[in-house]
Structure 1
Amino acid sequence: MNWKEIFPDFEPPLLLEMEHFAVINNFAEDDVLIDIGEPVVFVPLLLEGYVKIIREDKNDGEHLLYYLEKGAVCALSISCCFDHKKSEIKAIAETSGRVAKIPLGKMDEWMARFSGFRNFVLQSYNRRLQEMLVAIDSLAFLNLEERIVKYLRDKKQINNSRFVETTHQEMAADLNTSRVVVSRLLKKMEADKKIKINRKSIEFLD
């Protein structure tokens, strides 16, 4: 594996330690990498694929916070790690891929020893904060049709295709609404010629 290609700003000694201490796991689409309430015993660095990060509310509804892509780390899992708390998020594989699991004991050590790793963690916090603010703005200020458009555009970018493979039920779960409402709005968007609903995918027409 070419660690330097994935993490170009990491120091060579750090890359050597990552190669030695990281546990590499493959995952398949829809696998749950981290679940709510689980002890956080490692910090995941994404090597391949996409992972969506979900937070539950008090009424057991779920909200999509952001996606992780190649070379990213989940800032919320780091927060739980430093605070010695159980996971407050769920990480679900959007695609197949690979993840490097970093032992918790190495986090403090690498933060202190390697500026490249410290900057990476701090920048990850800032980026995920901005993405969560966008998610909050979406809930507060966008109507559901606009949220569906944003959701589909995010998935379109991940797939690098105008075809988005998803189900009405999956969209409803990610957007914390009902499948019936999602289906009704998708049909309206199709009537407005914004999308085309296929059997197993949704196609953007713009």
Structure 2
Amino acid sequence: MIQELRDSYGNQFEDALIYEIVQVGTFKEIPAGFKMIEVGDYIKGMPLLVSGVIKVLRDDKDGDELLLYYLETGDTCSMTMTCCIGEVKSEIRAIAETDAKLIMIPIRKMEEWTAKYKSWRNFVFESYHNRLNELLVTLDSVAFNKMDERLVDYLKEKARVNNETSIHNTHQEIAYELHSSRVVISRLLKKLEKLGKIELHRNYIEIINL
């Protein structure tokens, strides 16, 4: 596990911190599709993503979802950190996009390491900064981009984080994550297919030239 942490987090953490992470952290392996955090949950620890991809979503007042961002290897979730430290209920939903490995860090250690290790403090601040930027990108997309542009961006990002050109999501699932309707998404996907950008199959979407 020590080597996996070094591989995932590079030279961000000094050896002493890595050893402490291994000693006090709880290692978990989760399958794709597993719901790690639900809206309203109390979060007991902070996740360090060793491998895989996790998608973070938020519900609106009507219960519809919006994809906020993806967590990838070497990331953590700033919203999770805030909930842990503030001991408040989660306002996000986290679902494994792919099979993933992570280490859960106890709340008491999160605060202790902020004072003890400069590398940990820098990591936490950088994580807040990165997640804020991703939220701003999502906000800009919703506010200023047309749905066809958002759909193309979604498909590209989905392919990138999964490292494959096949998108194994239903039209309804895509509609949920883009906060749209299945009818609209199906129509736009058909349009992309006619343009030669994608191919629609029974159980998946193949990206050709986005």
The TM-score normalised by the length of structure 2 is 0.95
Residue 82 of structure 1 deviates from its aligned partner by 2.0
Q: Deviations over 1:32-70 (max 9, x none)?
A: 111110111111111111000001112222110000001
- 2: distance between equivalents of 1:91 and 1:130? 18
Aligned to 1:62: 65
1:145 counterpart SS class: helix
Q: How many residues align?
A: 206
Aligned to 1:80: 83
1:79-98 equivalence runs, <5 A: 79-98=82-101
Are 2:110 and 1:113 aligned? no
Q: Which has the larger displacement, 180-189 or 14-23?
A: 180-189
Are 2:56 and 1:47 aligned? no
- 2: distance between equivalents of 1:29 and 1:204? 21
1:183 counterpart SS class: helix
1:116-127 equivalence runs, <5 A: 116-127=119-130
Are 2:8 and 1:6 aligned? yes
Are 2:208 and 1:205 aligned? yes
Are 2:144 and 1:141 aligned? yes
Tell me, yes or no, if the aligned pair for 2:47 and 2:105 is still in contact at 8 Å. Answer: yes
Residue 83 of structure 1 deviates from its aligned partner by 1.8
1:60 counterpart SS class: coil
Aligned to 1:165: 168
Aligned to 1:180: 183
Residue 162 of structure 1 deviates from its aligned partner by 2.3
1:6 counterpart SS class: helix
Residue 177 of structure 1 deviates from its aligned partner by 1.5
Q: Which has the larger displacement, 175-184 or 142-151?
A: 175-184
- 2: distance between equivalents of 1:167 and 1:143? 21
Percent of pairs identical after alignment?
42
Selected match of 1:21 from 19, 24, 33: 24
Structure 2 unaligned spans of 5+: none
- 2: distance between equivalents of 1:169 and 1:96? 22
Structure 1 unaligned spans of 5+: none
Amino acid at match of 1:176: H
For the aligned residues, what is the CA RMSD? 1.1
Residue 170 of structure 1 deviates from its aligned partner by 1.1
